[in-house]
Amino acid sequence: MAAANARSARQGAAPREAVKKAAFAWVDENAGTISRWHDTIWDFHEPAWREYRSAAWYVDILKRAGFDVEAGSGGMPTAFCAVWSNGRGAGPVIGGYAEYDAVPGNSQERVPFEKPRAGVHPWAAGHTDPHSSLGIGALAGLLAAKHAMETHRIKGMLKFLGEPAEKVCGSKPVHAAKGYYDDMDAAICWHPSFGAGRANTAILDTHCGSYWSKVYTFECLEPETWSGMGAGGQGSSAHTVARAPGAIDALMLMYATCKTTKEAMLPHTGTWTINEAILATGHATSDNLAPRFSQIQYSWRSPTLAMQGRIADVLDNNAKHVAAMTHCRVRSAWVTKTRVGLPNHAMAHLTYQNLALAGAPIWREEARKFGRAIQKNLGIKPMADPILERMQRLATPEATEAEMRGQLPPWQRNYTSDDYVDWTWHTPTARLIVGRCTLKSPKPGYEYPAWAWNALGGYPATIDPTTLVAAKTIAGTTLDLLTKPAAIKKAKDEFRKRTGGGIGGKDWVAPLLPKTFQPPIHFGWPEYVTTVRGTEWVIPKGA
């Protein structure tokens, strides 16, 4: 390293230690601003596909920082693509992204007791993981790297995307299909730890699996043809004739049938899940008329694309038969289809080196006091140190991988789901996991309620350390990729080997959505609407 620094000095470039020191110092000097940025997004708490204020806030910040920003990228109103170059066309292109969607049903104030947010419905959205920290940590890392690049005249391009609707894995497959990732030389993604498992590490091999989601729409288009006993038939009253079962019965039968056939969708091996959400029921107001319209969404996760396809076949078959039984027509539309994660050891090790340099999150007494207040309010004896110890120490990629492999069958290479996986097929990608304030369980098997987890993600003293460590790690890794040609070459060589030649190679998996795919922004996703009655949490009438 000393020899390399000497060469850099002779060439007029700053020593690498000075470059990273400048980036880390930027994070420390702006820690208060970064915390306030997080508060802003956390307080917007906007759900998937409806993150209007959050996306506009990011676009404004990036434009003021000198980025060229395409708002509404990929046909998604709350997505964006921002680029900045320190020397047009010179140096590598390094990517990253922000997420900012919140989760319906998780409204919570940043207090140590259960308290939904004032002024909105108690089942409105709230940040759970939280994506508020994810987005701000990535943004701060990007701006810290930019500061060091400008200070030390480092050439390269930074590309930063706004990725809405992660909770339905919505935007990244769209951006991938439309080519937004193809020009990047490497990318860094991260996530706050999500439980007592992997934390303060970089993922080596067991990346996330696949997530598919589809909406089935049932419509009763010709209810009058259900029975020969029409409204005027043989003097019958419209209130006494047999009517078509209609769309609500179709939805209920679809729900029940899929529950019944769930056991037969796949063998009882590997970790896979399927869940449903009712989007609309037609809002019928007359008991004697067939309900005309209903929608139900299915989302499923599994470790292989073959398993995903099998589930889709069963769902389609169920929908076809249910529609026939209820005198309805059925239409289906994809919400998303993701691939599975592709490893890159070179990126994982490089990222972990920078995580070690930044250090694990350090929580001060204010955070512990907040944790003890939560415990007290739950009837738990407050602990001297309520924060889980493993969130406060590093875990090597190898150790984390060994622990994960011990929980899975040998054949299973991917686990859970997140749409970052679509990045991994277009550029060498790191997956960083930073520990977040997680409370120790008072006894084996105890689970804290969701409100406590959500409050810890909004209280500055408990979430800021996670955000700041992520920012430093991302900045350091970005600068390594820009200043160490051998590091980026190693990552790209591995990418080409794993894909059989890079994008389009023999082992490469293409995007599962077509380039012409229209993002599913038109469905009745819940959102906030302001009227003369105030701000309400609704499914709007126009959906």
Q: What angle do CA 232, 237, 239 make, to 5 degrees?
A: 125
pLDDT at 543: 40
pLDDT at 144: 98
pLDDT at 533: 75
**Start-to-end C-alpha separation, the chain:** 59
Peptide bond into 397 cis (omega under 30): no
Structural domain containing residue 267: 211-337
> Can you tell me the mean pLDDT for 155-180?
98
Domain shared by 176 and 224, yes or no: no
Domain shared by 235 and 112, yes or no: no
Which has the closest alpha carbon to 393: 151, 538, 227, 201? 201
pLDDT at 536: 77
> Can you tell me the mean pLDDT for 375-396?
97
Q: Is residue 282 part of a domain?
A: yes
Average pLDDT, the chain: 92
25, pLDDT greater than 80: yes
330, pLDDT greater than 90: yes
Cβ-contact 162, 58 below 8 angstroms: yes
> Can you tell me the mean pLDDT for 1-25?
64
Domain shared by 261 and 166, yes or no: no
Domain shared by 191 and 261, yes or no: no
> Can you tell me the mean pLDDT for 17-45?
97
* Token pair for 163: 């990725």
pLDDT tens-digit map of 406-439:
999 999 999 999 999 999 999 999 999 999 999 9
- Pairing state between β 156-162 and 93-98: parallel
The DSSP letter of residue 127 is -
What's the sign of the alpha-carbon dihedral 451, 301, 42, 439?
positive
Q: Is residue 38 part of a domain?
A: yes
What's the sign of the alpha-carbon dihedral 111, 117, 123, 129?
negative
> Can you tell me the mean pLDDT for 149-174?
97
288, pLDDT greater than 50: yes
The DSSP letter of residue 408 is S
Q: Which residue's structure tokens are 């007359």?
A: 286
2, pLDDT greater than 60: no
Q: Is residue 539 part of a domain?
A: no
Domain shared by 199 and 225, yes or no: no
Lowest mean pLDDT among 74-78, 178-182, 260-264, 421-425: 260-264
184, pLDDT greater than 50: yes
149, pLDDT greater than 60: yes
Domain shared by 315 and 400, yes or no: no
9, pLDDT greater than 50: no
Residues near 197 by beta carbon (within 8 Å), at least 6 away in sequence? 404
The CATH number of whichever domain residue 282 belongs to comes to 3.30.70.360
Domain shared by 169 and 223, yes or no: no
Domain shared by 236 and 376, yes or no: no
pLDDT tens-digit map of 209-247:
999 999 999 999 999 898 754 444 444 555 666 788 999
Domain shared by 295 and 397, yes or no: no
Q: Which residues are paired to 186 by β-bridges?
A: 94
Total domains, the chain: 2
pLDDT at 180: 98
pLDDT at 240: 62
pLDDT at 283: 63
Domain shared by 287 and 197, yes or no: no
Q: What is the b/e burial string over 408-447, where b = at least 16 CB atoms within 10 angstroms of the residue's CB?
A: eeeebbbbbbbbbbbbbbbbbbbbbbbbbbbbbeeeeeee
pLDDT at 291: 87
pLDDT at 3: 44
Q: Is residue 484 part of a domain?
A: yes
Lowest mean pLDDT among 16-20, 171-175, 217-221, 482-486: 16-20
Which has the closest alpha carbon to 298: 307, 286, 311, 317? 311
CA distances from 540 to 119, 293, 523, 529, 537 (A): 18, 16, 10, 8, 9
